[in-house]
Amino acid sequence: EAQVTQNPRYLITVTGKKLTVTCSQNMNHEYMSWYRQDPGLGLRQIYYSMNVEVTDKGDVPEGYKVSRKEKRNFPLILESPSPNQTSLYFCASSTQPGLISYEQYFGPGTRLTVT
Amino acid sequence: QQPVQSPQAVILREGEDAVINCSSSKALYSVHWYRQKHGEAPVFLMILLKGGEQKGHEKISASFNEKKQQSSLYLTASQLSYSGTYFCGTEIVGYGGSQGNLIFGKGTKLSVKP
């Protein structure tokens, strides 16, 4: 089954404790992206990756890191989480931009709470 | 850089129609539409490319005015299952084609009542 998986689905942590949210897709997609969703603000892009070893900042990259060492995986790293990073996070994958097939497949989401 | 969606919210009775609009200040390569139900991930509805090509679900229709950098999603004869938040996503024109990333609007909450 074609899917994007994220782990963990729920996480409560404390300020400053490094954490990683994993994202994996089994569709051989080149493009992967991370979004955060907050009430009233929609889906805001954190980072995106056009292919392996190619990453770029989205609209809200501060406080986050990513890496793309393999095509299927795109982990999101919070080196020193703060309460303003409490949010719902979605990973998405797709074929290359600019194509009619550039349809985003979203993971189930990770609800993060930083106290 | 986020596209602007209107209205922010709309309430319908079953069988009524609705139009959701999306506009950008940048030249657009494509516009996407997604629906998100409460507690779930967004789900793809439609993509419209500059030049006229489009792909999407049979019961969904949308338009894309490249010159005005606007798109509209048309929901006709609404059903209870149409309830959710609708997001437009925009792919901006860049060097040689698409700039690459997809930027979403803040969403339009649609509620369909019996």
For the stretch A31-82, pLDDT in tens is 999 999 999 899 999 999 999 999 999 999 999 999 999 999 999 999 999 9
- Which of A103, A105, A110, A111 is the best residue to mutate to test the B interface, defined by the most B CB atoms within 10 Å of its own CB? A103
Q: Looking at the complex, does the CB of residue A63 fall below 8 Å from at least one CB of chain B?
A: no
Instruction: Check residue B30 and give its pLDDT.
Output: 93
pLDDT at B37 over 80: yes
Asked whether the beta carbons of residue A103 and residue B55 sit closer than 8 angstroms, the reply is yes
Residues 6+ apart with CB under 8 A from A81: A13, A14, A15, A16, A17, A18, A19, A63, A112, A114
Give dist(CA A108, CA A98) in Å, integer. Answer: 25
3-state secondary structure of B60: coil
pLDDT at A112 over 90: yes
Instruction: Residue count of chain B, please give it.
Output: 114
Q: Looking at the complex, does the CB of residue A70 fall below 8 Å from at least one CB of chain B?
A: no
Which residues share a beta bridge with B61?
B74
Instruction: Check residue A1 and give its pLDDT.
Output: 85
- Helix, strand, coil % over all residues of chain A, rounded to 5: 5, 50, 45
Q: Looking at the complex, does the CB of residue A44 fall below 8 Å from at least one CB of chain B?
A: yes
DSSP A73: B
Give dist(CA A42, CA A54) in Å, integer. Answer: 25
- Which of B2, B99, B102, B106 is the best residue to mutate to test the A interface, defined by the most A CB atoms within 10 Å of its own CB? B102
Give dist(CA A49, CA A74) in Å, integer. Answer: 8
Interior angle at CA B32, CA B90 and CA A33, nearest 5: 70
Q: Looking at the complex, does the CB of residue A8 fall below 8 Å from at least one CB of chain B?
A: no
Average pLDDT of the residues in B56-78: 91
